Amino acid sequence: MIRFGDVCMHGQQTSYDFLVVGAGSAGCVLANRLSASGQHSVGVLEAGGSDWRFWIQVPIGYGKTYYQKAVNWMFETVPQPGLNGGVSYWPRGKVWGGSSSINAMVYIRGHRKDYDDWAAQGNTGWCYEDVLPYFKRSETAQTGDRKYRGKDGPMYVSDVAKDMHPLTKTWIAAGQEIGIEYNPDFNGARQQGIGHYQQTTKNGWRVSAAKAYLHPARKRPNLTITSHAQVTRVLFEGKKAVGVEYLRKGKLEKVYARKEVILSAGAVQSPQLLMLSGVGPRDHLADTGIELVEHNAHVGQHLQDHLGVDFLYKCKVPTLNDELHSAFGKLWAGLKFIFLRKGPCRLSVNQGGGFVRSSPDKDQPDLQLYFSPVSYTRAPAKTRPLMNPDPFSAFLIGYSNCRVKSEGEIRLASKDPLAAPVIDPKYFSHEDDIKLMLEGSKLMRKLAQTEAFKGIISEEIRPGKDFISDEDLIKDIHSYAWTVFHASCTCRMAPDADQGVVDPRLRVHGLENLRVVDASVMPFMVSGNTNGPTVMIGEKGSDLILEDHA
């Protein structure tokens, strides 16, 4: 036996104490926390490569990576009846940092009741008061009450209010005009209200999970990161996970785990890997020709995602369209960023935000709101031209549904591990979801008709004056609604295998030495963006693992 650091080489067999599959939002956290003491060897396998790319690091660059195959899995759903038969495009990060390297950087934790409801389902240790310390441990928040916000964590969360477009103040005034109270911090004592979004940036650069957690740890002798390694299945001895098989540079290789295999491949690929490994619904695996290791009907099921709808308005005052549309405007914005770290390149286009209840009888916000001082009505197919907006002054306001009731599924297309999984979110399969979206569309009109916007808006571009009645707006929702990229719940947490895939300590039911730690373990969706909660899951998951191996 030859020992390199704390990595054992038995002939050509490499083994680590902990083997983490996926260097995404949760996987980067695990890589850092599990290796921090130096007592455990940690191997990380990532299908993508390094995140040191200019358009990853520049905040507005997520428009470039949106269709960039080198860093993006570029998944698509099956046709959705709820979207008039349309296919939904699902970008997912294939790079260090995972989707935190290509997302819009909005930092939201969700509502406290989300987590209290998780615990009420029998998931001990996951109520709001239990998870709050992990949210705080994960972040350095530039602003906020120390009772709720962290001040010395790896993930920097910036308050960029002073950098936002002046129309964001108009957005806030419009909300206040219709009774939505101003909220300076959606991640503090309360979530409800209208305000501006905080984002995961620092000094004008993106702060992904890779930058926050993986890069600071990567030189530790007990941490090994293997890039461009696509895991094809988990290896078992009976019911015990002992390693994984992966493909790298055209060669199939194996690596072993002495203590645990931990899947952090995300809500699409963690269930896919379980099923490729023989863990999942018995009949589906039999139909696919995969030998059963452990039957669990919930693997790949209960898929949830947020959907959004935008309303676009031409206006009488300058917006980011005026700054960015011309070649000179792009050049000037680029120069301001490079030399001063200022201007629109340092921000997400999602600037204003909010959380509201669709009716007074709701016990928590069920609509998330968005304001962007920019519009895109002429985007070529398969582009997201954040730096090439419309050639006229305009902005968009929008919303997404927080409390989703429709559930879809992830299935295998075949037993070929390189085949993309079948993604079927079953959008609007629950009638309450379309009712909630209708309330969201009505709220957009109400905001646009306020005195705050009265002297600014000149025309509604989308959906337009022909969409007036409830029936018209519902028709528009079915034809226009788009994913907000928050897939989750496909390996959901539950006390037993009759209800979910992993237990409250994130161990896969019925198996040994195998956990799932990522957004797929959410019992149901959080109310808001999922990156912050996924980082929290990585933080708490790392403690659970270390406690079990103390």
pLDDT in tens, 359-391: 999 999 999 999 999 998 876 667 676 778 899
Beta strands in 166-320 (DSSP E): 193-196, 201-202, 205-206, 223-226, 230-237, 240-248, 251-263, 279-280, 294-295, 301-303, 307-315
Give the per-residue pLDDT at 9: 41
Give the per-residue pLDDT at 12: 53
Encoded amino acid at 105, one letter? M
CA-CA distances (angstroms) from residue 49 to 93, 173, 502? 10, 44, 29
Element (H, E) at 240: strand 240-248
Name the band, by pLDDT with cuts 50, 70 and 90, for residue 8: very low
CA-CA distances (angstroms) from residue 385 to 61, 200, 375, 396, 522? 10, 21, 10, 15, 32
Q: What is the mean pLDDT of residues 160-182?
A: 96
User: Model pTM greater than 0.75?
Assistant: yes
CA angle 209, 220, 233 (to 5 degrees): 65
**Is the predicted pLDDT of residue 4 greater than 60, yes or no?**
no
Give the per-residue pLDDT at 223: 98
- The span from the CA of 356 to the CA of 440, in Å, is 10
Give the per-residue pLDDT at 213: 98
**Is the predicted pLDDT of residue 423 greater than 90, yes or no?**
yes
Higher pLDDT, 5 or 241: 241
By CB neighbour count within 10 A (0-12 exposed, 13-18 middle, 19+ buried), where does 416 fall?
Answer: exposed
Q: Which residues are catalytic?
A: 486
Q: What is the mean pLDDT of residues 431-456?
A: 97
Encoded amino acid at 85, one letter? G
pLDDT digits (tens, 9 = 90+) for 467-524: 999 999 999 999 999 999 999 999 999 999 999 999 999 999 999 999 999 999 999 9
Residues in the chain: 550
Nearest one of 481, 326, 342, 448 to 389, comparing CA atoms: 326
For strands 422-424 and 408-411, give the pairing.
antiparallel
For strands 514-516 and 482-483, give the pairing.
unpaired
